[in-house]
Every structure is written in C-alpha cells, then in structure tokens.
Structure 1
Amino acid sequence: MQSFVDIWQYMPHGMCLLWQPWLVTLWAGSDLIIFLSYTAIPIALLTVLRKRQDIPFSGLVVLFSSFILLCGLTHLMGIVTLWYPIYPWVGMLKLATGLVSAATAVVLFRLIPTLVALPSPAQLSEANSKLQAEADAHQDTLAKLKGLVADLQAEAAAHEATLAKLEDLVAERTEELHEANTRLAVQTREAVHRSANLLSVVTSLTRQTARGHERTEDFIEALLGRIHSLAMATSTVVRGDDHLSGDLATIMRQQLDPVLLTYGKRVNLDGPPTQIVSEAAQQISLAVHELATNAQKYSLSQDADSQVTISWGVEGADEDQRFVLVWRETHPTGETVSDTPAGEGGFGTKLLTRIVPQVLRGKATRSIEDGVLEYRLEAPASAVLANPEDTDTATLAARLVDENFGLK
C-alpha cells in the first residue's frame, strides 16, 4: 500500500518526453480531446435510454456507456501522469476499465443470436401494413355486403328508370338525326358555293395571266405559281383545326417557304396569332406570292443587304376595326426593288392594288421611295378575321371540300 501513497518514487511521464513543450502539448491535447469525446458519448447514450425506456437490452447500453467513460478517464489520467506519477492509481483505473470491457464483450457475444433475430424496422412496418390491410379487407367485405343488399333493392327501380330513359333517348336521337340532316343540306350547299368561288378565282387568274404573257413557258410558270399559292392557302384553311379558317402566320410561312429556306435571316414575320377566313387567305396568299416572286428576282437575289419585313395586325376598336398587312422591302443601295414601277398597270400590280383589296372590300397602296418598297393592305376586320362561333358549318364543309376537290 506504501506504493499507492508514495508516488514520488516514480518519474513523471513528462520526463520521458524530455519536457519538450510541443511534444507535451501534443500528448496532453490529444488525450484531452479523447477524454471529452469519451465523456460526451456515454452522456448521449444514457440520455436516449432515459427518454426511450422501451429500448430493449438497456443493460448492454449501460455497459457500453461505462466502458467508454472508463476509457475516457484513462486518457485523462494520462494527462495527469505527465506531471504527477500516479501510476498505481492509473493501473487500478485501467484494471476497472479492462473488467468492464471484458464484461461488455461477453454480454455482447452472448446476445448476438438474440440481436440478429430482432426484426428490423422495415420488417415491423411490413407486418403492421399486413395487419392493417387485413383489417381494411374485412371492413371492405362488410361494406360490400351492405352494398349488395342496397343494390338488390335499387335494381328493380333501376330497370324501370332504364326503360323510361330508353324511350327518351330514342326520341332525342330521332330529333338529332332530323337536325343533322338539315345541317348537312346547308353545309353541302356552303361547300359547293365555296368550291364554285375557288374555281371562279382560278379561271380569272388563268385569263388575266394569259393576257400578260406572250411566251407559253412564262405563262405556265406564272400561272402554276399563282395556282399553287392559292391551293396551299385553301388547303391550310379547310384542314386547320376543323374550321374554315386558318392561322395567318402558318399561311405566310407556307407561301414564303422557298424564300425562307434561301434567305431566312433576311425575311422577318411580325404579327399576332390571327385566324382568317378562306377568301381572305386566298387573296392574301396571292398578294404575298406576287410580292415574294418580285423580291426574289429583283431584291433578295441582287443585294445581300436587302431585307423583307411582313407585319400584320388589327387597328381600331369595335365596328371600326381594320385589318392591316404591310410588306416592307428595303434595298440599302437605293436601287429599284421591283420589276414594275408603281405607276404601271401590269397584272401583278393590278392584283396587288385593285383585285385583292376589292375582293376584301378594302384598299391597298404600293410605293417605291429611296430604295424601299412598301405595300400596305387595309380591309375591314369582318372581311378578314374568322368568326370563332361559326364552327358547325365549317367542320362538315371542310370535309366535303377535302373529299370532292382533292385538297389534301
């Protein structure tokens, strides 16, 4: 026992480190961090155990906490022995730590089969889900039985109601058939009327084009271009959205497809989404085709800096609303941008300034000044814009034109 009291017969551990400040600091600092950590861990475990008393094997948790705490105390004593050689006391502490460690290891190994057999949270959740599903199934069965009884009671009444509904349905379908036949007759007449108008336009184009060309090849090329323009506009309208109207931007892009493919960045379209009627689509397509043909020949192909801007919109309000389309063709060099001066009376000019605006009950101007050609078409909005409420007649009329006149 004298050895436990007379500790100064031993040498402090710091002498082994030659009392070098950095080494003593490193040794003591490391042991201090370990001691603090080994003290915090048991506190955390015991706090959880106190708040969750349903945790199984709480004794094992206490053993682990004791073992970790004793390990921390040995590191604390390691700091003390740097200056005070209390090695006998440290030895007793290490003995206690060893005994607790051994007991913890023995208990842990004995509990391995039990711990392995414990169900996991996922297994417990699955078991609870199955039990809940069985309870729900029983409830569903009871509800179904009650429902079957109610169904049997309501079935007789349902048969009587079904017979009454069938009678009403037959009467309703008979009335609908009569109305459908009436609409079909009206829609058929409308389709024939529109087809006749289209043929009249083609006939007029043929005659007028023939007057302006002496060579057969030039006549055929100009006529086919105008008919193709007219056909694309009509096809877009009668097949778009099942209504006899079409989106102006789509019609424009189809008419300008060759120009856009060749001079895409130099041709700009600017306008809001606008639904227009078939007659307006035909006339505007003819005008755009005429302007695009001249632009390809005398502007876009001649000057790499030339630009074309097509804009449209609706101006005014209520009954004074007017549709406005502007074709602006710029030629930075200031040279002529068209093959026909504004004052001459070729068919292309007549088509742009007289025929198209007359059909649309509007007016048009075509001017060339300082290397800029501007074509401005104005017409009442009622003559151009589609009526969104006119859908019943348009649906069948489009189908009839599709089937009988090959607009596919």
Structure 2
Amino acid sequence: MSHFSDIWQYMPHGMCLLWQPWLVVLWAGSDLLIFLSYSAIPIALLTVLKRRKDVPHRGLVMLFASFILLCGITHALSMVTLWVPIYPQVGLFKLATGVVSCITAVVLFRLIPTLVALPSPADMAAANERLRGEIEAHKATLASLEETVEARTAELSRLNATLAVQAREAIHRSSNLLAVVASIAQQSARSATTKDDFLEALQGRIWALADATRTVIEGGDGPAGDVETVVLTQLDKLLPNIRTRVTIAGPALAIGSEAAQQLSLALHELATNAQKYSLGPAEQARVDVSWSFEEAAEPGDGTFRLVWREHGAGPTAEEEASQARGFGTKLLTRVIPAMLRGSATREFTADGLVYRIEAPLSAIRPEPVQGGEPWRAAEIVDRTFGL
C-alpha cells in the first residue's frame, strides 16, 4: 500500500514537459475540455433514460454512459498528474475504464444483429404514413357505418310505424270478420229448420270466408289475390263433379281481403243453390260466370260487375220459394251489396237464374301499399292475422 500513499517518490508529469507554460496549459486545457465533455454526455444519456421509459436496450446505454464517464475521469486525473504524481490512482481508474470498455464492446457486438434489425427513420416514416392511411380508411368506414346505421334506424322506425298501423287495421279487420261470422250464424239459425241444415249452411259460409282470406293472402306476389282465383276456389270446391259445365271469363283484377270475402259468400250461395236446384237435377244445365270493370276518368273511381247466369235450368217453384224466404237471398241482394257499397239484382228467367252485382272499383281493389318495407309490414300482418 506504500506505493499508493508514498506518491512523492514519483516525478510530476509537468517535469516531463519541462514546465513550459504553453505546453502545460495545452495539456491541462485539453484534458479539462475532454473531462467536461465526457461528463456532460453521460448526464444527457441518463436524462433521456429517465424521461423515456420505452428506450430499447437500456443496459447498453448505461454501459456507454459509464464508459464515457470513466474516460472523462481519467482525463481529469491526468491533468492532476501534471503537478501531483498520483499515478497509482490514475492506473486504477484506467483499469476500471478498460474493464467497462471491454464489457461494453462485448455487449455491443452481441447486439449487432438486433441493432441492425431496428427500423430506420425512413422505414418508421413509411410505416407511420401507412398507419395514417389505415386510420383515414377506418374513419371513412366508421362514417359509412354510422350513416348506414342511421339509415337502417330510420327505416326501422318507419317499419315500426307501418306495423302499428297495419296491426290496428288487422285488429279492425278481425273484428269485422268476427261480426260477420256472428251475424251469419244468427241468421243461418233463424232460417234453418233442423240442426243439420244449420250446421251445413253455417260451416259452408264460414269456410267460404276462410277460403277467400287464404286465397287473397297466398295469391300473387303481394298481400292481395285476384278475382279469378277467388271464383275458381269456390267453384272447384263446391262443384267438383259438374265443373265442366261451368265457364268463367273476366280480366285480371286484384282484389282486397274484404271484397274477396263478400264475393266468396255470394259465389258460395249461388253455387250451393245451383248444385241443389239447377245443375244437379238438369244434366243439360250450365253456368256462365263473368266479370268486368270500367275505369273512370278520376283515379280511384270506376265500376266492377260480376254476372252469374244459368242456362238450361229454368225456374222452379221450389227454388223460388226457398230462396225467397232464406237467409241466402238476404246475403245476395242486401248484405253483400251493402258491404261492397254497391247493388245487386236477382232474376229468374225462362232459361234460369241471373244474378248481377255492381260495386265501385275502390271497394274491390286492395288498398294501395307502397313497395319495400311498408309492403312487407302489410304482408306480415296479413299472414299473422289472416285465416
């Protein structure tokens, strides 16, 4: 330890410079500048590490800071040796500087692949530009989605409003239908002589209503059928064996639910009576069913006509007497025309029965519905509340 304490056995470094003032100042000034610089650099690196917790390879930065600081201290001690020969202490600091330098070099070489793989500023700028483009695209997509959601919400609100209206209409329609069924049951009971006659007449009329409603719902692309389908449904069901003696003719015409129900009731009564009194007993008898309509100058106006004409049957006293006092006559001549806001006539000619009914087109055609969502709302209600 005497070598570290007995330093005056060595010669100050200034003597090697012959104590030339300019040379001493040059050496001392240079070492001072190097010491100050090497002391400031680690301070700057440590400040960066303190403020940025996300700096990669913080250990390598600490090694560089230690290596540079030790280098600065060795230069400071070299400046002191110009006047004080502390060479042992300078040697220890140089040894520490060498060890730290070696460790820094080894770590640096091991990190070369990782450091080379780090993206360059140009790569970072390009990546940032791509990210900005993706962000703008996502913003545009989000704006489009928001517009779509707003549009769908508005459509849903309109659909809900339409459904509410259609639901109220369906309830009203069901109430009317129940009232019709109740009236038919009551009137059929009054005119029937036996329980079997009452059940047969009532079931036939109710099924005619049901068939009409089903025909309207299932016939066509919208919530409305057509007159021809309603006529065929009733005649094919009631006159299956003598259908070849029945001809139908008429233009295509859409029909609403209530009009289909009323026409089905009329056709049911006519076909039932024809099978009982005309087409059944007289093999040569036949029936023509025709309909037509005339458009008026004003939209929504016009006249619909349906004619049931029997040929080769001739009137019978039994038929006239039975139909004159029956509920079927009231249906054909009073109830059904009133429901359709029209008029009807029934005439027994030498050739057979002729029945005519006229009604405004607005009472026959379905209520106009718009396409798209409101139409779907009407279809939902028809399929839910229809018979």
Residue from 248, 272, 279 that aligns with 1:300: 279
Which residue in the other structure is 1:180 paired with? Answer: 159
- Stretch of structure 1 that moved more, 212-221 or 151-160: 151-160
Q: 1:242 Cα shift?
A: 5.7
1:156-235 → structure 2 map (5 Å cutoff): 158-235=137-214
One-letter identity of the residue aligned with 1:302 = P
| Percent identical | 49
Aligned to 1:318, what secondary structure does the other structure show? coil
Aligned to 2:337, what secondary structure does the other structure show? helix
- Stretch of structure 1 that moved more, 282-291 or 258-267: 258-267
- Stretch of structure 1 that moved more, 394-403 or 376-385: 394-403
Which residue in the other structure is 1:369 paired with? Answer: 349
Aligned to 1:370, what secondary structure does the other structure show? coil
Q: 1:252 Cα shift?
A: 0.9
Q: 1:167 Cα shift?
A: 2.0
Cα distance change on mapping 1:349 and 1:393 into 2, 3 Å: farther
One-letter identity of the residue aligned with 1:252 = V
Cα distance change on mapping 1:398 and 1:192 into 2, 3 Å: farther
Cα distance change on mapping 1:214 and 1:363 into 2, 3 Å: same
Unpaired runs of 5+ residues, structure 1, are 1-150
Aligned to 2:346, what secondary structure does the other structure show? strand
Which residue in the other structure is 1:351 paired with? Answer: 331
Give me the whole-angstrom Cα distance separating, in 2, the residues matched to 1:340 and 1:252: 24
Q: Which TM-score applies when normalising by structure 1?
A: 0.57
Which residue in the other structure is 2:217 paired with? Answer: 238
Do 1:187 and 1:396's aligned partners in 2 also have CA atoms closer than 8 Å?
yes
Cα distance change on mapping 1:196 and 1:249 into 2, 3 Å: same
Cα distance change on mapping 1:315 and 1:176 into 2, 3 Å: closer
Residue from 322, 336, 341 that aligns with 2:303: 322
One-letter identity of the residue aligned with 2:331 = L
Which residue in the other structure is 1:386 paired with? Answer: 366
Q: 1:174 Cα shift?
A: 2.4
One-letter identity of the residue aligned with 1:366 = R
Structure with larger Rg: 2
Unpaired runs of 5+ residues, structure 2, are 1-129
One-letter identity of the residue aligned with 1:403 = T
One-letter identity of the residue aligned with 2:177 = L
Q: 1:185 Cα shift?
A: 1.5
Q: Which TM-score applies when normalising by structure 2?
A: 0.60
Give me the whole-angstrom Cα distance separating, in 2, the residues matched to 1:163 and 1:398: 34
Aligned to 1:379, what secondary structure does the other structure show? strand
Which residue in the other structure is 1:360 paired with? Answer: 340
Q: How many residues align?
A: 255
Aligned to 2:307, what secondary structure does the other structure show? strand
Deviations, residues 24-54 of structure 1 (Å, cap 9, x unaligned): xxxxxxxxxxxxxxxxxxxxxxxxxxxxxxx
One-letter identity of the residue aligned with 1:322 = T
Cα distance change on mapping 1:189 and 1:388 into 2, 3 Å: closer
2:304 counterpart of 1:288:
no
Give me the whole-angstrom Cα distance separating, in 2, the residues matched to 1:272 and 1:338: 35
